[in-house]
Protein backbone atom coordinates (compact mmCIF):
# COMPACT_ATOMS: atom_id res chain seq x y z
CA UNK A 1 0.00 0.00 0.00
CA UNK A 2 1.28 3.48 -0.86
CA UNK A 3 -0.61 4.89 2.17
CA UNK A 4 -4.04 4.62 3.77
CA UNK A 5 -5.44 7.53 1.74
CA UNK A 6 -4.28 6.36 -1.68
CA UNK A 7 -4.21 2.56 -1.35
CA UNK A 8 -2.24 0.21 -3.58
CA UNK A 9 -0.33 1.27 -6.69
CA UNK A 10 -2.14 0.05 -9.83
CA UNK A 11 0.20 1.22 -12.62
CA UNK A 12 3.21 3.40 -13.28
CA UNK A 13 4.55 4.55 -16.65
CA UNK A 14 5.96 7.67 -18.32
CA UNK A 15 3.55 9.83 -20.33
CA UNK A 16 3.64 12.87 -22.60
CA UNK A 17 1.23 15.82 -22.38
CA UNK A 18 -0.44 14.75 -25.64
CA UNK A 19 -1.19 11.22 -24.32
CA UNK A 20 -4.31 9.98 -22.54
CA UNK A 21 -4.89 7.46 -19.77
CA UNK A 22 -7.88 5.16 -19.33
CA UNK A 23 -8.83 4.06 -15.81
CA UNK A 24 -11.17 1.15 -15.00
CA UNK A 25 -12.74 0.44 -11.60
CA UNK A 26 -13.91 -2.83 -10.06
CA UNK A 27 -17.50 -1.50 -10.36
CA UNK A 28 -17.20 -1.14 -14.14
CA UNK A 29 -16.71 2.63 -14.26
CA UNK A 30 -14.36 3.75 -17.01
CA UNK A 31 -12.88 7.17 -17.62
CA UNK A 32 -10.56 8.38 -20.35
CA UNK A 33 -8.53 11.41 -19.39
CA UNK A 34 -6.02 13.57 -21.27
CA UNK A 35 -2.69 13.72 -19.44
CA UNK A 36 -2.42 17.47 -20.03
CA UNK A 37 -5.51 17.92 -17.85
CA UNK A 38 -3.76 16.41 -14.79
CA UNK A 39 -1.79 18.96 -12.81
CA UNK A 40 1.82 18.22 -11.90
CA UNK A 41 2.53 17.75 -8.19
CA UNK A 42 5.80 17.39 -6.31
CA UNK A 43 7.07 14.13 -4.87
CA UNK A 44 6.29 15.24 -1.31
CA UNK A 45 2.54 15.43 -2.06
CA UNK A 46 0.05 12.56 -1.98
CA UNK A 47 -0.80 12.99 -5.65
CA UNK A 48 -3.79 14.52 -7.41
CA UNK A 49 -7.34 13.23 -7.84
CA UNK A 50 -8.14 12.25 -11.44
CA UNK A 51 -11.68 11.12 -10.64
CA UNK A 52 -13.65 10.15 -7.53
CA UNK A 53 -14.71 6.60 -6.73
CA UNK A 54 -17.22 5.29 -4.19
CA UNK A 55 -15.86 4.19 -0.82
CA UNK A 56 -16.09 0.52 -1.85
CA UNK A 57 -14.84 1.12 -5.44
CA UNK A 58 -11.20 0.85 -6.53
CA UNK A 59 -9.24 1.52 -9.72
CA UNK A 60 -8.06 -1.90 -10.96
CA UNK A 61 -6.52 -1.07 -14.33
CA UNK A 62 -4.89 1.88 -16.08
CA UNK A 63 -3.99 1.94 -19.78
CA UNK A 64 -1.66 4.38 -21.53
CA UNK A 65 -2.99 5.73 -24.84
CA UNK A 66 -0.30 7.48 -26.88
CA UNK A 67 -0.92 10.24 -29.40
CA UNK A 68 0.36 7.90 -32.15
CA UNK A 69 -2.08 5.13 -31.20
CA UNK A 70 -4.95 7.63 -31.15
CA UNK A 71 -4.19 8.90 -34.66
CA UNK A 72 -3.72 5.41 -36.07
CA UNK A 73 -0.01 5.90 -36.83
CA UNK A 74 1.19 3.15 -34.52
CA UNK A 75 4.35 1.08 -34.98
CA UNK A 76 2.34 -1.59 -36.84
CA UNK A 77 1.20 0.85 -39.50
CA UNK A 78 -2.39 0.77 -38.27
Q: What is the DSSP string of 13-38?
A: ----TT-EEEEEETTS-EEEEEGGGS
**Over the stretch 4-62, which tens digit does the pLDDT of each residue have?**
777 788 888 899 999 999 999 999 999 999 999 888 887 777 777 888 888 899 999 99
pTM, rounded to two decimals: 0.70
Predicted confidence (pLDDT) at residue 63 exceeds the cutoff of 60: yes
**Over the stretch 50-62, which tens digit does the pLDDT of each residue have?**
888 888 999 999 9
pLDDT for 32: 93
pLDDT for 78: 47
Spatial distance between the Cα atoms of 45 and 35, rounded to a whole number of angstroms: 18
Domain boundaries, the chain: 1-68
Amino acid sequence: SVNNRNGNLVASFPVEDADQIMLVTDKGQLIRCPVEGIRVAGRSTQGVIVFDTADDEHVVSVEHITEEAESGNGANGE
